[in-house]
Amino acid sequence: MSPEDPKLSQLDPRRMDKRDAALTTDQGVLVEDTDNTLRAGPRGPSLLEDFHFREKLMRFDHERIPERVVHARGSAAHGYFQPYGDALAPYTTARFLTDASVRTPTFTRFSTVQGSRGSTDTPRDVRGFATKFYTDQGNFDLVGNNMPVFFIQDGIKFPDVIHAVKPEPHHEMPQAASAHETFWDFVSLQPETLHHVMWLMSDRAIPRSYRTMQGFGVNTYRLVNADGRATFVKWHWTPAAGVHSLVWDEAQKISGKDPDFNRRDLWESIEAGAFPEYELGVQLIAEDQEFAFEGVDLLDDTKLIPEELVPVTPVGRMVLDRNPDNFFAETEQVAFCVSNLVPGIDFSDDPMLHARAFSYLDTQLTRLGGPNFQQIPINQPVAPVTNHQQDGFHQHQIPVGQANYHPNSLGGGCPYVPGADGGAFVHTPERVDGVKARKRSETFADHYSQPTLFWNSMSAWEKEHIIAAFKFELGKVNAMHVRETMVGHLNRIDHALAVAVAAGVGVVAPTDRHANHGRVSPALSQAARPGGGSIAGRKVAALVADGVAAASLETTRAALTGAGAVVELLAPTDGAVTTASGDPLAVDHAMNTTGSVLYDAVIVADGVAGLVNDGFAVHFVAEAYKHAKPLAVLGTGDTVVEAARLPVFEASDRATEPASKPMAGALDGVLFVAPGADADAAFLDGFIDAIARHRHYDRPVDGIAA
């Protein structure tokens, strides 16, 4: 973020810097003592006249505001957006999208949906991806998710789907989980949810990091050009770091080891200068192509348009390069709304979009305590605000002058209405007629073809994970009829999927086969989005102990750190270990304060044979292997790997394979350096590549206890 960033300059004067400052009351009066209440004698009653005590307590008593009714748990960052060029100029008058010299400040909040504000970061859940663009034409909010479709087709069902997924009303359980009775009861009775449910059962629902997930506007918008011509648009964010996820066992363990896992990752990567980066892309559909996609209505947000039919055109890049100064003031008080549009961007007739346009503003009135929440610094546009809106709780502006109405002559007719020619927002003219009725379009009726498309497009490991997720989730549902109904739906998506899930949840496998249409959309698989090979911001654990041979470890550490990764040395105790040559080597953490689930890859150092008898170390290695993470085994570190009983050794194929090349099968992502040898370039490149590829699902892991 550059110093002349207009949003930053706006926020700067609002920052309260407490350094070198004396303690005052809210009235700016210097405080004599903030540790003792004013009393009638040291053991006497407190006195009402102690205004400092009453103010301090009153302010504390009112610190909490209602959390968001959905997406309560979130983390955010400042950044900027810059378009690559003027490719969108024929389609939109929005300058921030078409002028490559314009760098627009942004504030982006990521969130989970189900859990409350203090819940864990890694449940199986949808993630919010909401960006406020502070453009010179006003604020534009792109309020999206990390999945391109939604559960329902009509906003009137939103309270139902959210009630069903949230903790159950009688006992407020479970927190941050969809694996419970009411969610699956609802889903089983509302088949329009199935497409989104397929995404929810996939690894997309457990992202490794906010840096490694896609974002989607979900609803269809319109771009509008200078002639007033509109083009339908679907928004896509693609992370530069690739799309990567956790594995489910790991996600559950992280919830205990570090419930702030994704928040910490976002914060630390920005502090370390490994700035999260996303490319903005658009799918453009000419208005006369509205009905060109068989089985897909653009206004139905349970459907996507396959990228193979309408490619995603990259138009610009967002970089998140500054952490907020204060969580409440910025991340909690930010208010996104789909109706924050700028000239050149408009709604489509997507009914969900209209429901959302009402709901966000409505909920924010309560959550932020009145109609002036747009004046809260994080919500304020950088474009000037001048209108006749007035009064209400917490008015922070001082409107000057007599005329607070339009038209007026007493105020010189101001603020004047600039009109379309003056750059105003103009709703796209559209002829609309119809019969008033509570009816859904027939074109919304197909609830199975796209779930099948999603399933067909998955790689083998993604399919395995989806089956396992269904087994886990339905396994938590007591009502057998709900499990049975769900298996029935899955059978209409894909027979093999239904049979596999039925076997895990005690339901008789269906015998009737619905024909699978066989279509695929390769772009839907996250395996197709490995990223550009960077390992910046990835975390690597190096297991060390007394006797460690430092050479190969230091070479490996230097190479990884040089590539932007963070390497932490873990030992049985904190402090330092003594190397083979008798030198102290500083340790970052005692192993028992952390866990393999908090790292992306593991190095087992040379000379640490002593760890063979350390159950924690052996478990660390076995668990990392089971979670498909890259392992670098240096020299006699192989004894620890052996103790973990990994198939690498059982197959005794290690000796016959070249030591420094990524391999398939059990050795996929496992690299060795011979005892006493230093780490060579081929090994280092191979390890970096293995980390960039993230997970190595080719391995047989079923028999490994971890």
Dump strand ranges (E) for 59-137: 74-83, 104-112, 127-135
Stretch that binds ligand HDE, among 31-39, 266-274, 353-361, 500-508 (CB under 6 A): 353-361
339 touching ligand HDE, by CB under 6 A = no
364 touching ligand HDE, by CB under 6 A = yes
Q: Whose Cβ is closer to ligand HDE: residue 363's or residue 395's?
A: 363
Lay out the site mask for ligand HDE across 124-153 (x = CB under 6 A, - = otherwise): ----x-x------------xxx----x---
Query: Which residues ranging from 198 to 227 are in contact with ligand HDE (CB under 6 A)?
Result: 218-219
Distances (CA, A) of 511 to 285, 310, 333, 495, 517: 41, 37, 53, 9, 18
Give me 17's structure tokens: 């810097």
Give least dist CB 6 to ligand HDE, A: 22
355 touching ligand HDE, by CB under 6 A = yes
Stretch that binds ligand HDE, among 38-46, 354-362, 540-548, 631-639 (CB under 6 A): 354-362
- Tokens 């550490």: give the residue: 557
Q: Whose Cβ is closer to ligand HDE: residue 117's or residue 514's?
A: 117
Contact pick of 75, 111, 262, 555 for ligand HDE (by CB under 6 A) = 111
Give least dist CB 166 to ligand HDE, A: 12
Q: Whose Cβ is closer to ligand HDE: residue 155's or residue 207's?
A: 155
Cα–Cα distance measured from residue 504 to residue 502, given in angstroms and rounded to the nearest whole number: 5
Give least dist CB 355 to ligand HDE, A: 4
Contact pick of 70, 247, 305, 602 for ligand HDE (by CB under 6 A) = 70
Q: Whose Cβ is closer to ligand HDE: residue 144's or residue 637's?
A: 144
Lay out the site mask for ligand HDE across 549-568 (x = CB under 6 A, - = otherwise): --------------------
Give least dist CB 560 to ligand HDE, A: 34
Say what the alpha-carbon torsion angle 442, 448, 453, 455 is, to the nearest 10 degrees.
160
Q: Whose Cβ is closer to ligand HDE: residue 352's or residue 621's?
A: 352
Residue of minimal CB distance from ligand HDE? Answer: 128
360 touching ligand HDE, by CB under 6 A = yes
Give least dist CB 232 to ligand HDE, A: 16
Contact pick of 352, 490, 536, 560 for ligand HDE (by CB under 6 A) = 352
- Tokens 């007035």: give the residue: 390
Chain centroid to CA 702: 29
On whether the CB atoms of residues 283 and 546 are closer than 8 A, the answer is no
What distance, in Å, lies between the first and last C-alpha atoms of the chain?
A: 43
Comparing CA positions, the residue from 165, 258, 262, 257 lying closest to residue 213 is 262
Lay out the site mask for ligand HDE across 274-313 (x = CB under 6 A, - = otherwise): ---------------------------x------------
Contact pick of 1, 8, 38, 69 for ligand HDE (by CB under 6 A) = 69
Cα–Cα distance measured from residue 588 to residue 333, given in angstroms and rounded to the nearest whole number: 36
- Tokens 């300058």: give the residue: 95
Q: Whose Cβ is closer to ligand HDE: residue 117's or residue 529's?
A: 117
* Residue of 71, 195, 236, 696 with catalytic role: 71
Chain centroid to CA 238: 12
What DSSP element (H or E) covers 539? Answer: strand 539-543
Q: Whose Cβ is closer to ligand HDE: residue 352's or residue 490's?
A: 352
379 a catalytic residue: no
DSSP, res 265: H
Q: What angle do CA 65, 181, 500 make, to 5 degrees?
A: 125
Give least dist CB 196 to ligand HDE, A: 9
Specify which residues 238 forms β-bridges with.
279
φ and ψ of 529, to 5 deg? -130, 65
490 touching ligand HDE, by CB under 6 A = no
Cα–Cα distance measured from residue 653 to residue 650, given in angstroms and rounded to the nearest whole number: 8
Chain centroid to CA 135: 23
The radius of gyration of the chain's CA atoms, rounded to the nearest angstrom, is 28
Cα–Cα distance measured from residue 703 to residue 216, given in angstroms and rounded to the nearest whole number: 38
Q: Are strands 601-604 and 539-543 parallel, antiparallel or unpaired?
A: parallel
Q: Whose Cβ is closer to ligand HDE: residue 215's or residue 637's?
A: 215
Cα–Cα distance measured from residue 368 to residue 351, given in angstroms and rounded to the nearest whole number: 26
φ and ψ of 112, to 5 deg? -95, 175
* Residue of 52, 139, 145, 340 with catalytic role: 145
Q: Whose Cβ is closer to ligand HDE: residue 217's or residue 572's?
A: 217
Give least dist CB 385 to ligand HDE, A: 20
Cα–Cα distance measured from residue 578 to residue 545, given in angstroms and rounded to the nearest whole number: 8
326 a catalytic residue: no
Cα–Cα distance measured from residue 206 to residue 541, given in angstroms and rounded to the nearest whole number: 21
- Tokens 């409505």: give the residue: 362
Give least dist CB 351 to ligand HDE, A: 8
Contact pick of 109, 180, 489, 695 for ligand HDE (by CB under 6 A) = 109
Annotated active-site positions, please? Answer: 71, 145
Contact footprint for ligand HDE (CB under 6 A): 68-71, 74, 109, 111, 128, 130, 143-145, 150, 155, 158, 218-219, 301, 335-336, 352, 355-356, 359-360, 363-364
